[in-house]
Chain A
């Protein structure tokens, strides 16, 4: 193997990639309009892949999905695996607690966390309200795929037992 010095090449590529992801600060000599288009294209491609892998989250965020994901993608590189499920989970974590997700999106998050668990036991639960109040429990055993069960809460069970009102 030859002893090519790769350090300068590595540094130039890292500078360009960083600037494309951030959307500004392009290294000298690059045409800003071209670089803007390339950066937008990178972020759009990632956003579309995540939207496909996370339909409930995308629906839940609605119009703000694009802007929130764009801000996330400017700050964070894609996962090494290229997996949009993992990318989406990183995005959810970035959204933080100030973004209240709906039931379907929260269920999607739990299932993704279980699917992405590499080893060991995974157990997590969330209280959901729709279509009825229930506890969604997601379990992944070390040797199998994720399993989920919905357990009606006491409140929901009482409502179900209550006889229907007469008209």
Chain B
């Protein structure tokens, strides 16, 4: 059972490893870690590019997308065993998953869907997360999702919900700044105010991804450049706390290598500016 560990580990800057980004990641200096989608790892084991990254000293964090920890069903033992096996293969310091459900009533959504922010959901999530923690060889970090649709009857806001869940389970926080931005923009509240109320002392690492606006709605696509509003949140976060690591997610419409490098630099610059501000203050 792995829970309740503080994150003293430093990750630095990272990128989500995808086959299409393998060469770019291999040629990027200064990365401290990569994230691999656990479900993309098959029987042959870790892809060569991930093994090579590990040999260069980068830490590997498996990222699960299918446990459906926020679902009504208990997490599937086979999926848990797979996530645990990928963690072992990669010598991972931790694994991450989502506060979301991806299946219900025998149907798969193919995407991460939000859970109702209620006491009932907290009870069920708490139980599912505990089952997962018992099956995993390393600590678990939980990521809140970007939700285009909100459940009616919310009993608390997102930051409070996440705080309560981490308190109950001892899990770590995978803070996704693009999701903070998306939810604040789409549901009409202040992103900075929301960010400040997340449990920042529980951050394992931070996600930053690109997105786009369609009809006034912000879509967290991971297929577009990172928008300025999200970079401002990176700066604001590092002005509040020295987060252990920040990682760029790109899942589609992969950019040329120079563009990817520029995005990584922009994130690093924003984190540095925030850090300088924190030191000054």
A residues with a Cβ closer than 8 A to B are 1-2, 4, 6-18, 20-21, 28-31, 34-35, 37-38, 41-42, 45-46, 48-49, 52, 77-82, 87
B150 contacts A by Cβ under 8 Å: yes
Q: Bound complex: CA of A95 vs CA of B108, how far in Å?
A: 20
What are 17 of the A-B contact pairs (CB < 8 Å)?
A4-B123, A6-B124, A7-B72, A11-B105, A13-B71, A13-B105, A14-B104, A14-B107, A15-B105, A18-B107, A34-B149, A42-B111, A45-B111, A46-B110, A46-B111, A77-B103, A82-B39
Residues of B that sit less than 8 Å from A by CB: 39, 65-66, 71-73, 101, 103-111, 113, 116, 120-121, 123-124, 127, 147-153, 186, 217, 219, 252
Contact partners of A42 in chain B: CB under 8 A: 109-111
| CA–CA, A86 and B168, complex, Å | 38
Task: Say whether A31 contacts B107, CB under 8 Å.
Answer: no
B104 proximity list for chain A (CB < 8 A): 10, 13-14, 16-17
A77 in contact with B107 (CB, 8 Å): yes
Partner of B109, one of A2, A20, A35: A20
Distance A108 CA – B252 CA, assembled complex (angstroms): 22
Chain A residues with CB under 8 A of B217 = 37
Which residue, B110, B153, B217, B219, has most C-beta atoms of chain A within 10 A?
A: B110
Whether the Cβ atoms of A9 and B149 lie closer than 8 Å is no
Q: Which of B71, B107, B151 is the most central at the interface, judged by chain A CB atoms within 10 Å of its CB?
A: B107
Contact A17 B152 (CB under 8 A): no
B20 to chain A, nearest CB (A): 10
Residue of A nearest to B70 (CB): A13
Q: Are B108 and A4 in contact (CB under 8 A)?
A: no
Which residue of the partner chain B has the closest CB to A32? B149
Residues of B with C-beta under 8 A to A17:
103-105, 107, 109, 113
A21 to chain B, nearest CB (A): 7
